[in-house]
Homo-oligomer: A and B are copies of this chain.
């Protein structure tokens, strides 16, 4: 059976260290709640499930845990492509510069209009999309939604649109 899930935000705030370091002892020094599954921890797990590729098309990207997840996938050899809005890539707290420095391929949409998407495609197979910008405010404060689906009729148009936008913004 294919995945069709919905996550709502704001997410409860809880420690996500065990997602990045599964062998981490529960006794580490940290004041956040532990052992709690939240919308945000589920989102991180879906992203970290990437084995081959992760395509990100994001209006804004400042959330440090999401950045950490992308960097971890990059270190595992997963092919990452990041397409983002030019204006928002330069604002304070943006993680776009960090990803670039790590060697991740980033393209900024420089058209006069906003690239307002907030979607990710995992392994060309699973779509993560919704209202949620990849910021701390969106995750912890706003009322937001995210859909995770493997339904081909929904995933394939996003795969195709990502390729189109990626090609349009080829800096070469």
Contacts and interface: CB of A to CB of B under 8 A. Distances in A.
Interface of A: 4-6, 8, 10, 59, 109, 113-119, 129-132, 138, 141-145, 147, 149, 151, 153-154, 157-158, 161, 165
B113 A10 contact: yes
Contacts of A8: 157, 161
9 contacts: A6-B153, A6-B154, A6-B158, A59-B131, A113-B142, A115-B142, A116-B138, A119-B145, A145-B161
Determine the main DSSP class of A at the interface with B: mixed
Contact of A143 (B116, B130, B157): B116
A145 B159 CA distance: 12
A36 B80 CA distance: 37
Interface centre among A138, A143, A161 (most CB of B within 10 A): A143
Contact of A117 (B59, B109, B129, B145): B145
